[in-house]
Chains A and B, each alone.
Chain A
Amino acid sequence: MIGITSYGAYIPTFRLSRDMIAKAWGRGSLGGERAVANNDEDSTTMAVGAVFDCLQGQNRRDIQGLFFASTTAPYSEKQISPIVAKTVDLGNEILTYDFANGLRAGTSALRAAIDTVGNGSATNILSVAADCRLAYPQSDAEQAFGDGAAALMVGNSKVIASFEGHYALANEMMDVWRKTEDTFVQTWEGRWVLGEGYSKLITKAISGLLNKKGIDPKSVSWLALPAPNLRSHRQIAQSLGFDMKTQAVDPLLANIGDCGAAHPLMILVSALERAKSGDTILLASYGDGAEAFLFKVTDEIVQMKKRRGIEGYLNTGIPLATYEKYLSYRNLLESKPGEPFRLLPSATSYWRDQNSILSFHGSKCRNCGTVGFPIQRVCYTCLAKDDFDEIRLSDKLGQVFTYSIDNLAGRSDDPVVVQTMVETEEDKARVYCMMTDCRPEEIRVGMPVEFTFRKIYEGAGFHNYFWKCRPLRRGGK
């Protein structure tokens, strides 16, 4: 049996009220709120967040590939999948492929993972999609879009949702695109895009799969249908004969927004969160064509370890204070840079120290047990030399040992930097880092925190990623 063996999601902490966007432009609001990536987040860091969620209860050594999908990869020449794989601490004898250039990139990665396991090339492949797309300020899409990520593990044992079928259609039309040099998503006239593009193609893909499998819409337990808006979602579901109340999974538009290539997978995760053994899930996806997947949930679903998923992340948001912050977080309003860093990054030192910087390994002394971070060749406590095991700190919880709220260290749109001394609960390792996604007035000594992978800054012409801490997000089941 081949299918999904684990799932995870990531939704950024900050949520921007659509009324606030509307008010800034003196126009109508779509209502609700949208998820906004912090200024230290991008598709790489959000993908890492979703993969960590998906890895709950999984053995990293069993994973033989990581497929990354996005239309907003932070590099146009350089794979993101190896960054994510190294950061989540997979081995190096793995497949790393990136999928890009279309809104079906996420489901393409999922389909490729299914085929890779299906043809015997691997037993477990992680597929992850993340997106952080930009719409023109003042446009409907600015309100409708959101930022987020989802990850699915595909394997051939302990399958929680078996792969039962797939149907795909290619379609060429200039409905939605971004040229290489474009910042914002471009579209042709909306009625044509929706009528001849989305509605026609996604209907054909879903009915094509139903016909191929010889099943009736009524027998499908959950319809995971991404849509550009709630009206289209309802129209498509109802016209195909699905019941909105009992079958259609919430398309996550009201409170997260359309997360591009990640969106279909996020809705699939949401479906898996509510599915029971024996349920069937129909997943659809649109972009330069359309495709549909059929999954059947197994008894293994009850074995899933606790994770945040869509539900957990959805319920732990913090309102973003202003629309202007959103603009500057996305570099649409240029903010005055903070003081220049006095230390220049170097690709060689970044490469040499990647076990500490990316995989977030510390050293545990074999002689006295002291855990040092970054990796210490000479033990802090007993001075033993080169006698340690590397241990992963990224998924350890910690507490604030001490902190300061530095009003000078940031940049003009985010002047406050919370310096934090974290002590991990388990090994009492000390990690000195910045705190992100927080309300500074709520920070206390002893506050529980977790680590989160972030973009620190851009020096030497490349993205400098490292870890920060954030107040523990308590959602999930």
Chain B
Amino acid sequence: MQSIKDRVAIVGMGCSKFGERWDAGLNDLAIEAVYEAYQDAGVGPKDIQACYLGTVSAPLTGIAGTVASEALKLRDIPVIRNENWCASGHIAMIEAFMAVASGIYDVVLALGVEKLKDTGFPGLGTGRGMHPVIEARRTSPGSFALLATRYFHTYGIDPQKGKEIIGKIAIKNHHNGALSPKAHFHNEITLENVMKAPIVAWPLGLYDCCGNSDGAAAAIITRTDIAKRFRSDPIYIKGFGVAMDSMIPHFRPEFGWTSFDAMVKSSRKAYEQAGISNPREEIDIAEVHDCFSITELAIYEDLGFSPRGRASEDIESGFFTLEGGLPVNTDGGLKCFGHPMGASGIRMTYEIYKQLQQKVDNPKRQVKNPRRGLSHTFGGPPQLSAVAILGNEKG
């Protein structure tokens, strides 16, 4: 197996405004993101040789790759749709990396787009995935609350204290989101807000849950050896990893519910490709899948940012804030930027890309001289993880 390191580069990216986009349909969101990416890369529709599309739910099935061919008029080229729940866009982008690395295509578009706010329901709905009868009647917050309950139990944390710990993750992400013009939410919150918020799925309250939003993000991907034809500061792909667990690990004997194998395995594969041995030290910035505050805590440990069982110490010390040793979710994360599933992985990569180029749209959240950044998505009820590592220089 070969590493992807430095074989592929991103030369243009775009991201729509995220939020309750009553004004925009799936196609409008795609156009908003893709035309920004075209402009950023200095290309047009006729330059795109293949499109990798990630979208999950709108409409549920049966649209194939027609978002690209209808809205963007990308006809007569392959449009390959990827559906992997919340990692759909991220994995579509990784497929685009591989298509370029194979040498078959020179310029490829990766697009993630999701229109959630046409369903008539808040949230992602009830009962998806496994079996119409065996499936418990559940929502996403209810699924991830299973993790919080078991984590608090395993490490002997009183649930109220546990809620305070994960509440600090939400406070951090709201702070960052307030500095992020394209984010869904821009309000700072306090610990009191967190603790007094209505419970959505015990022990998770309103501020433990990410935004349910519409949005799109896109990337123009090419080979490293021709990247500088497009721009002087391309961003290079250092590694990636994708791992899938059982359909729902809930039924898997001995599954611990404090950690997810898929997150551990996907990140280790990406670190191996990137030549990273100590992610806590060697990653300068990360955008991770904070669908719920407790998920971000588990990610700190599973991705090797914090020692096992000790993420709370790093949360308390501010290690993951904009000023900390490893800023995480500098644009507000899923919590505040919003989580249109198919778009999220590419939106995270957009933030890393802009941070590495020192071109973030609000200098107040620009991290100082980052060299290597990581984007991470986690999908399903939960079992599927994708990681991509990017750098602003070769080697």
Interface hub of A381, A403, A440 (most chain B Cβ within 10 A): A403
Give how many A-B residue pairs fall within 8 Å (CB-CB): 147
A350 at the interface (CB under 8 A from B): yes
- Separation of A356 and B198 alpha carbons in the complex (Å): 37
B48 at the interface (CB under 8 A from A): no
Name the 6 nearest CB pairs between A and B, nearest first.
A406-B142, A404-B145, A432-B250, A402-B150, A405-B202, A343-B132
Q: Which residues of B contact A374 (CB under 8 A)?
A: 131, 134, 251
* B: number of interface residues (CB 8 Å): 45
Contact assessment for A430 and B146 in the assembled complex, using a CB-CB cutoff below 8 Å: no
CB < 8 Å: which of B139, B246, B251 contacts A406? B139
Q: Which residues of B contact A345 (CB under 8 A)?
A: 132-133
A residues 388-421 with Cβ under 8 Å of B? Answer: 401-410, 417, 419, 421
For the complex formed, measure the closest distance between the CB of A463 and the CB atoms of chain B, giving whole angstroms.
Answer: 10
A residues 319-352 with Cβ under 8 Å of B? Answer: 338-346, 349-350
Q: Residues 134-174 of chain B: 1 if any A CB is under 8 Å from the residue's CB, otherwise 0?
A: 11111101111111111001000000000000000000000
B residues 189-233 with Cβ under 8 Å of A? Answer: 198-204
A428 at the interface (CB under 8 A from B): yes
For the complex formed, measure the closest distance between the CB of A361 and the CB atoms of chain B, giving whole angstroms.
Answer: 12
Contact assessment for B253 and A371 in the assembled complex, using a CB-CB cutoff below 8 Å: yes
A373 at the interface (CB under 8 A from B): yes
Contact assessment for B142 and A419 in the assembled complex, using a CB-CB cutoff below 8 Å: yes
CB < 8 Å: which of A344, A370, A408, A428 contacts B141? A408
For the complex formed, measure the closest distance between the CB of A377 and the CB atoms of chain B, giving whole angstroms.
Answer: 13
CB < 8 Å: which of A342, A381, A402, A404 contacts B126? A342
Q: Which residues of A contact B253 (CB under 8 A)?
A: 370-372, 380-381, 428-430
For the complex formed, measure the closest distance between the CB of A351 and the CB atoms of chain B, giving whole angstroms.
Answer: 12
- Separation of A380 and B253 alpha carbons in the complex (Å): 8
For the complex formed, measure the closest distance between the CB of B370 and the CB atoms of chain A, giving whole angstroms.
Answer: 36
Contact assessment for A346 and B200 in the assembled complex, using a CB-CB cutoff below 8 Å: no
Chain B residues in contact with chain A, CB under 8 A? 60, 121, 123, 125-139, 141-150, 153, 198-204, 246, 248, 250-255, 257
Q: Which residues of A contact B137 (CB under 8 A)?
A: 338, 341, 409-410, 417, 434, 456-457
Q: Which residues of B contact A402 (CB under 8 A)?
A: 146-147, 149-150, 153, 257
For the complex formed, measure the closest distance between the CB of A128 and the CB atoms of chain B, giving whole angstroms.
Answer: 23
Can you give 14 contacting A-B residue pairs, CB < 8 Å? A340-B126, A341-B135, A343-B135, A349-B131, A357-B134, A404-B141, A406-B141, A408-B123, A409-B138, A409-B139, A430-B252, A432-B250, A432-B251, A434-B136
Given contacts A370-B253, A402-B146, A408-B201, contact A339 B131 (CB under 8 A): no
Contact assessment for B251 and A431 in the assembled complex, using a CB-CB cutoff below 8 Å: yes
A165 at the interface (CB under 8 A from B): no
Contact assessment for B133 and A406 in the assembled complex, using a CB-CB cutoff below 8 Å: no
Q: Which residues of A contact B203 (CB under 8 A)?
A: 404
Contact assessment for A404 and B142 in the assembled complex, using a CB-CB cutoff below 8 Å: yes
- Separation of A237 and B386 alpha carbons in the complex (Å): 75
Minimum CB distance partner of A432 in chain B: B250
A174 at the interface (CB under 8 A from B): no
- Separation of A450 and B43 alpha carbons in the complex (Å): 62
Minimum CB distance partner of A430 in chain B: B251
Minimum CB distance partner of A344 in chain B: B132
Q: Which residues of A contact B204 (CB under 8 A)?
A: 404
Given contacts A339-B126, A456-B133, contact A406 B201 (CB under 8 A): yes
Contact assessment for B133 and A350 in the assembled complex, using a CB-CB cutoff below 8 Å: yes
Contact assessment for B133 and A401 in the assembled complex, using a CB-CB cutoff below 8 Å: no
Q: Which residues of B contact A457 (CB under 8 A)?
A: 137
Q: Which residues of A contact B144 (CB under 8 A)?
A: 404
